Amino acid sequence: MNKSRKHAQLSEFWRRYKKNKTAVMGLILLVIIVGMALFADLIVPYEKCIEQVGADRLQGPSMAHFFGTDEFGRDLFARVVHGSRYSLLIGLATSLMALAIGAVLGASAGYFGGVVDNVISRIIDVFMCVPPVLLSLAVVAALGTNLRNLIIAITVSCIPGNVRLIRSVVLTTAEQDYVEAAKSYGTSNARIIFRYVLPNAMGPIIVNTTMSISTMMLSAAGLSFIGMGIQPPSPEWGALLSNAQTYLFVAPYMLLFPGIFILLSSMAFNLVGDGLTDALDPKLKD
Amino acid sequence: MDERIKDEILKIEDLSIQYKTDLETVYAVNGISFSLKQGETMGLVGETGAGKTTTALAVLGLLAERTAKVTSGRVLFEGQDVCKMSEHELQRLRGEKISMIFQDPMTALNPVLTVGEQIGEALYLHNEQELSKKEIDRKVEETLEMVGIPRERKSEYPYQFSGGMRQRVVIAIALVCNPKLLIADEPTTALDVTIQAQILTMICDLQRKYGTSVIMITHDLGVVAETCDKVGIMYAGEIVEYGTLADIFTGDCHHPYTEGLFGSIPSLTEDARRLHPIEGLMPDPTELPEGCKFAPRCTKCMEICKTCQPGVWEKNGHQIQCHRFTENGEVKR
């Protein structure tokens, strides 16, 4: 009984999501990119990423090397395919972590108000004064450069914005009558936050999170670009770009392909995010 | 005597509540007292801003923590002071023993939970008999049918219901735990007249069935006449007249404000061109008049009314707070 209801809800959700053609396109794109990351080893073995062939240096795209080769003769197609793993991992991990921390801090600030709100908001204000890139740089500089620290650094830079956004939507949602009604039948504060306030404030939060996945991927690419992110020889899209700038005039394709993939994947996340908000909002149901 | 105390479920003594902000102090409720026995219905009548809802929220311990302050008095529910309870005790009280029907059914339901989930919520929170999921489910269905909604609709969302149906859901939520005291805060104000009668009849039927006490907050004297045993007329945070339904509707002695309220009901038989409102507005609750709060609007205002707070005249439980009936605490006439 319960299962069939869940099932009915899902198909209802899918029916509404389907209506939005651009969102479906974004989803297809996203599935392709995620599939590429998951099955990277089947598409092209990792060895191809690091295998240096002196004779094949700076080759343009061809049947042997779809995206050409770099200055060490490494296959760029293999590097882009395997690079998707890093980029997606960083984008998803940072966004979800920042969402979780932002939801707890922002919701408590907005819901409880008073001293709690003041303490959280003032600390966030301090963090907001520092440009996000600088904040990430500082964290990486303090912790050292590796994948884990990169994720921490980008998460930290993303938290303040999340807290502010969630606090503001929670502020308006917590004013609603049904929250007071919930209190009147003895619901605890934590339960009210997670069952009444946050689900009703979900729309802007979901959009923000999906959009932030692409922003996070870009800032990871940015950090790698200036050499503070993923270290060579690991292939990451930003690192590939950074590497390519030296050969901008001799081998522009080196810049083109990683760039296209960064663009496509952030576009995919944005489109899916838009589609999700429309489909998830019960007030927009027809 | 003991018996009387036992079935006295709610007793409010000299309750005063203020809303304090940096700029001003709002005197919302000023020393009201009343009591309610098991199974009784008490009507609280008054204009907007008379302090009716503030009183109700105080009974539930739901006053806004930062601004509202209980400056004097006690709210005794089953002999325990609600104002002194911890948050945890209050959470156990709310929903299980006291519950509230909210004014606007369009906003009182959570749009992202199905109505069944929302009705089950109070049961789940106060699950003392350790009901299983299935039993809760069955109880939810029973409650839905009780308020006249087919049980199949429990997995629907609030937006799929009309206003009247939503108010039924709100009532179902309030009643699912069989509370001892039900506070109905203008339960029919947001509904159209045909639905009003249905909802009121339903509340009365359910009350009789379960012996629930009800505080009916309203500004509609018609609703009071239909449902209540006792009536308190509130003005500017005070109960200016208090008595049984008969005292208020058919008694001889009345507070001038009560007379004004009845006078402003349009008559069906009289051919009047204009309605008869009570002249003037409620006093600003941040700056209440010194003497009788109603003096500035009163047609029978005397010199003493402007400077001196009137005492309470009482006859067989019928109480009136007016100088016309008292002098130095003694009954005139």
- The predicted-structure confidence for B265-313, as pLDDT tens digits, reads as follows 887 787 777 788 888 888 888 888 888 888 888 888 888 888 888 888 8
More confident residue, A62 or B75: B75
**A215 has a pLDDT exceeding 90:** no
Residues B24-56: pLDDT tens digits? 889 999 989 888 988 889 999 988 888 888 999
Give the closest residue to B295 by CA, choosing from B253, B304, B319.
B304
pTM, 2 dp? 0.77
Residues B257 and B91: their CA atoms lie apart, in Å, by: 38
Spell out a b/e string for A224-249, using b for 16 or more CB atoms within 10 Å of the CB, else e: bbeebbbeeebbbbbbbbbbbeeeee
Nearest residue of A to residue B101 by CA position? A181
Write down the ipTM of this complex.
0.78
**Coil, helix or strand at residue B277:** coil
Query: How many CB atoms are located within 10 Å of the residue B172 CB?
Result: 25
Q: Both ends of chain A: CA-CA distance in Å?
A: 24
Residues A266 and A220: their CA atoms lie apart, in Å, by: 12
- Confidence tier at A3 by pLDDT (50, 70, 90): low
- Residue B327's pLDDT is what? 60
Which residues of chain B lie closer than 8 angstroms to A187, CB-CB?
Answer: 91, 95, 121, 125
Q: Which residues share a beta bridge with B233? A: B45, B241
Which residues of chain B lie closer than 8 angstroms to A114, CB-CB?
Answer: 66
Which residues of A have a CB under 8 Å from any CB of B?
5, 113-114, 176-178, 180-188, 191, 195-196, 199-200, 202, 282-283, 285
Least confident of A70-74, A125-129, B136-140: A70-74
Q: How many pairs of residues across A and B have Cβ atoms under 8 Å apart? A: 78
Pick B94's closest partner by Cβ from A113, A186, A196: A186
Cβ-defined contact of B104 to A187 (cutoff 8 Å):
no
Residues B15 and A285: their CA atoms lie apart, in Å, by: 46
Measured in angstroms, the CA of B235 and the nearest CA of chain A are apart by 25
Strand locations in chain A, DSSP E?
A: none
